[in-house]
């Protein structure tokens, strides 16, 4: 199984789906992380500015080891300047067609600035990767299930919750590696624990992570009886 994770910034993937990523890795999945921003604005003191991009890149590589992410790409865009446009669409199309994922994860819509942009280009790029356009980016790849995840703003009605009780420790260990961000994202460990407990409660587990299956493209049903399995 190939799993593609799209995110705006280093730490989004851990806060949102760190436990799910580790579970998929444990199950033998090949996981590719594509990050849009290199994190140039992610410093909490001015003396950190010259080193922050390099520091965050090193942190992300350590996080990839902890979560079992085998492939990592950074598109090197600027914070607060991520844009919906030809280059970002084509980046998504390229990674979908070249990696040929069986499932994709991306931000949900109701979050702030950069997260919303990655949601928009992720959903549209996923859609266009499955139809014959921008063919210089590779051969068409089918519309694999696209799951939306939550970072700062929770989703109001997730369609799926995954029990991450067995991988919650890895999620926390990974977030500890993002030390440069602890001052910027105040209370992040409290956020992660509270939300994981809440999501777990909804399914009778200790810890959980929420997803919503994107309905941007309708799912075909050939046998009406199979609706009972959805």
Q: Is 5 in contact with 60 (CB distance < 8 Å)?
A: no
CA distance 149 to 118: 12
Instruction: Let me know if 18 is exposed, middle or buried by CB neighbors in 10 A (0-12, 13-18, 19+).
Output: buried
CA distance 202 to 162: 10
CA distance 195 to 153: 11
Domains and CATH numbers, the chain: 2-229 (3.40.50.10320)
Mark the ranges of the chain whose per-residue pLDDT is less than 70: 226-227, 229-230
Q: Is 203 in contact with 165 (CB distance < 8 Å)?
A: no
- Give the closest residue to 30 by CA, choosing from 63, 64, 77, 76: 64
Q: Which helix (H) or strand (E) holds 35?
A: strand 30-37
Bridge partners of 5? 33, 105
Question: pLDDT digits over 180-199, tens only?
Answer: 999 888 899 999 999 999 99
> For 69, which DSSP code?
-
Instruction: Let me know if 74 is exposed, middle or buried by CB neighbors in 10 A (0-12, 13-18, 19+).
Output: middle
CA distance 72 to 192: 23
Confidence at residue 226, expressed as pLDDT on a 0 to 100 scale: 66
Q: Which helix (H) or strand (E) holds 213?
A: strand 208-213
User: Which pTM value belongs to this model?
Assistant: 0.94
Confidence at residue 48, expressed as pLDDT on a 0 to 100 scale: 85
197 phi/psi in degrees, rounded to 5: -65, -45
Confidence at residue 207, expressed as pLDDT on a 0 to 100 scale: 98
Q: Is 224 in contact with 34 (CB distance < 8 Å)?
A: no
Confidence at residue 185, expressed as pLDDT on a 0 to 100 scale: 81
Confidence at residue 47, expressed as pLDDT on a 0 to 100 scale: 83
Confidence at residue 196, expressed as pLDDT on a 0 to 100 scale: 98
Question: pLDDT digits over 15-58, tens only?
Answer: 999 999 999 999 999 999 999 999 888 888 888 889 999 999 99
């Amino acid at each position: 199984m190939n799993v593609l994770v799209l995110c705006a910034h280093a730490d989004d993937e851990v806060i949102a789906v760190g436990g799910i990523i580790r579970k998929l890795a444990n199950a033998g999945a090949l996981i590719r992380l594509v990050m849009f921003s290199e994190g140039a604005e992610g410093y909490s003191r001015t003396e950190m500015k010259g080193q922050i991009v390099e520091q965050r890149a090193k942190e992300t590589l350590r996080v990839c080891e902890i979560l079992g992410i085998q492939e990592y790409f950074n598109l090197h865009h600027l914070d607060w300047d991520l844009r919906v446009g030809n280059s970002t669409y084509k980046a998504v199309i390229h990674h979908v067609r070249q990696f040929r994922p069986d499932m994709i994860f991306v931000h949900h819509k109701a979050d702030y600035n950069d997260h919303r942009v990655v949601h928009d280009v992720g959903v549209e790029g996923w859609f266009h990767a499955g139809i014959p356009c921008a063919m210089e980016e590779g051969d068409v790849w089918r519309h694999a299930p696209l799951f939306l995840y939550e970072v700062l703003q929770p989703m109001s009605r997730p369609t799926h919750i995954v029990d991450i009780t067995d991988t919650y420790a890895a999620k926390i260990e990974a977030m500890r590696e993002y030390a440069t961000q602890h001052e910027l994202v105040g209370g992040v460990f409290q956020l992660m624990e509270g939300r994981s407990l809440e999501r777990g409660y909804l399914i009778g587990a200790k810890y959980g992570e929420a997803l919503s299956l994107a309905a941007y493209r309708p799912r075909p049903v050939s046998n009406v009886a199979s609706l009972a399995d959805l």
